[in-house]
Structure 1
């Protein structure tokens, strides 16, 4: 959501961000493969204290972000006569559209006793809150998909590198948009980088959630819809608050309310969905394993890839996304085979085929991926708005929805093929033999 301004060293900043992308991907490839085993083991000790889901913590942080916006507006009205140019001149266009004409904010400003004390609301407070905001948003998605995955990642060796990677990227962006507050912001972000992982690890240690998205069309589509709705809300917060554009809130409010309502409805549906115990088709099982692996792998380099497109070089960011996706596909393939091999051994032996070829309909999965890619391209072409995040969110949603539906069709076709069947059918055949 941020744009690069005119800077003295854009090339140096871009090189450093590209380096963060590469290092983050390498760390993810080394550390993320340990996550599935940690999920299977479960927590090493029972949770203690009250369980607070990351969504609740995210709501608190978001509230603090908007409180700071109100205090910043009060500060500008009282100390700078309503003119934010004292800081806006250092940053690119698209920042500091204040709601200075709001009668409520003017009433607060008129009655605030010592407005000079609100000076830290200029960039410093947001610098502290941005890291917990993005990490808690990612943690919320993890918990929706699989509470065990959330706990494993938040208590694993992935969390400190993620905090460092995100913070280094934020600091590089700060330097690229440097202003009189930059040094303070860098120090504040460093403090946040230490405290935020401790908070997230503590939340995960107390978590007792049992949510798990099933490998079904309904379960995966509800998860994808939840992901999209949360993504819209995150973009609204960035656009209206983290970029100090409280004056845009009235225009964005209908979109935010619609996304919040959709999210509430989808999470209600998710709580009513239950895994019926039936084995999913191979393609749907592969999709769930793929999302599981991708979320674990993308946790560390997520922010570096995002900002690499704007402040770094797009090609390393795109290459990182491809490497992460390829690694997730390979891991998902192994997980799918491992999860069904006992049930299908007899069926594969009777058919005289290697187990891996019998289990993974690679050609049809590739077709599903190509259909998803086509849908993503169409979504990008039709997406409005000046921010590439909107196009990326639309593309991701279109790809996932199309791929999930296509994989469900693949499973339906496979079940009708002579000699083929679902893992459940194969398990029955193995038992009979």
Structure 2
């Protein structure tokens, strides 16, 4: 089922995504209505649910999660059972009423959590594209695709709560797009031009944000609240980097970008647009489907994004400039690939996504730096 989702969602995105975001929408003016603000609210609800779930297991099941853990893979249910949590559990009235905190609450929250993560990153890169994408029918397609994959995984890991979870996920799939479309309509105008500094800050933001998302994934979505203490120092550092990068980026003036840097920014925009619908299917295709098929789908989207970006950025450029761009791109990709590979191999990660995130951020930073510096050098030589 996951393989089918990979194929259908990838083909749909490649065929229709670009046409579906061309129509401009009227910007709003509510600066507080940002996806990251509501993502923080969803994360707070997820952690609140984890506390209530822990109280439920401690009081109703004597701290033993075997009754549900036997249905799921290894790596779940490292409970927090310190004095503070046990004190809360001892004084919590009617803990048996907290039974829905097991899987059911999370089944509703996972879809908005995933979509808000994606739209937050897209907004940092291009507010206009974020507004157009989130107000188009693609948000419904993404909701359906993500929910189908979630339900397929639920069915593969069947447990006594699977039917409840599927019904709840279906409700979330209907309600979440309405909210996301409303949220995007509140978006105001923002800077759309790429610059060296802004792209480097975007790379730093993406790494720090991804680190925080993986922390939430491990400590909350996998019910491992007991891991939070060990991950807290790294999460605090990542949060400081993220806040600093976003504040600095918001204060930067619009900058000029040469052809090479513009092609990098354009490629990222196209990639985020085309990956929106099939992103979760490709991600879970690695574990619950066919890894070669998931890799092929990801590669096809990357190639399509690159082709669209080059068509935009190299339009009207002369043969000599295109040849220079090819040299810039080759150098940037070679250096970025070497640094990214080293970053992946530098540390052994518990989750492979952490290594990929670190490698991708290092790769992007090097590519941006090489393209920006070489663009400036070429601009001086041609004056």
TM-score tier by shorter-chain length is over 0.9
2:230: which partner in 1?
251
| 1:21-420 correspondence to structure 2 within 5 Å | 21-34=6-19, 37-38=22-23, 41=24, 43=25, 45=26, 47=28, 51-100=32-81, 102-208=82-188, 210-212=190-192, 214-276=193-255, 279-338=256-315, 341=316, 348=318, 353=319, 358=322, 361-417=325-381, 420=382
Compute the displacement of 1:281 (Å).
1.2
Greater Rg by CA: 1
1:5: which partner in 2?
none
Q: Which moved more, 1:217-226 or 1:173-182?
A: 173-182
Separation of aligned partners in 2, 1:146 and 1:182: 38
Separation of aligned partners in 2, 1:228 and 1:35: 29
Extract unaligned runs of 5+ from structure 2: none
Is contact 2:21–2:133 with CA below 8 Å preserved after alignment?
no
Separation of aligned partners in 2, 1:36 and 1:123: 35
Which whole-Å deviations, capped at 9, do the CAs of 1:31-86 have from their partners, x for residues lacking one? 22226633xx3x2x453767410000000000000000000011111111111111
Please provide the CA RMSD for this pair: 1.9
Q: SS at 2:172's partner residue? A: helix
Is contact 1:283–1:360 with CA below 8 Å preserved after alignment?
no
Structure 1 residues 215 and 189: CA distance shift in structure 2, 3 A: same
Separation of aligned partners in 2, 1:272 and 1:83: 51
Is contact 1:31–1:157 with CA below 8 Å preserved after alignment?
no
Compute the displacement of 1:308 (Å).
1.2
Q: SS at 1:263's partner residue? A: helix
Is contact 1:144–1:223 with CA below 8 Å preserved after alignment?
yes
Is contact 1:35–1:149 with CA below 8 Å preserved after alignment?
no
Which whole-Å deviations, capped at 9, do the CAs of 1:370-411 have from their partners, x for residues lacking one? 322222222222232221111211121121112111212331
Q: Which moved more, 1:248-257 or 1:373-382?
A: 373-382
Separation of aligned partners in 2, 1:271 and 1:383: 32
Separation of aligned partners in 2, 1:120 and 1:58: 22
Separation of aligned partners in 1, 2:104 and 2:230: 26
Q: Which moved more, 1:248-257 or 1:306-315?
A: 306-315
Separation of aligned partners in 2, 1:142 and 1:48: 19
Extract unaligned runs of 5+ from structure 1: 1-15, 422-433
Structure 1 residues 253 and 360: CA distance shift in structure 2, 3 A: same
TM-score, reference length from structure 2: 0.94
TM-score, reference length from structure 1: 0.84
Separation of aligned partners in 1, 2:357 and 2:365: 12
Is contact 1:282–1:360 with CA below 8 Å preserved after alignment?
no
Separation of aligned partners in 2, 1:198 and 1:383: 41
Q: Which moved more, 1:27-36 or 1:91-100?
A: 27-36
Which whole-Å deviations, capped at 9, do the CAs of 1:299-324 have from their partners, x for residues lacking one? 11111111111221111111111111
Is contact 1:383–1:390 with CA below 8 Å preserved after alignment?
no
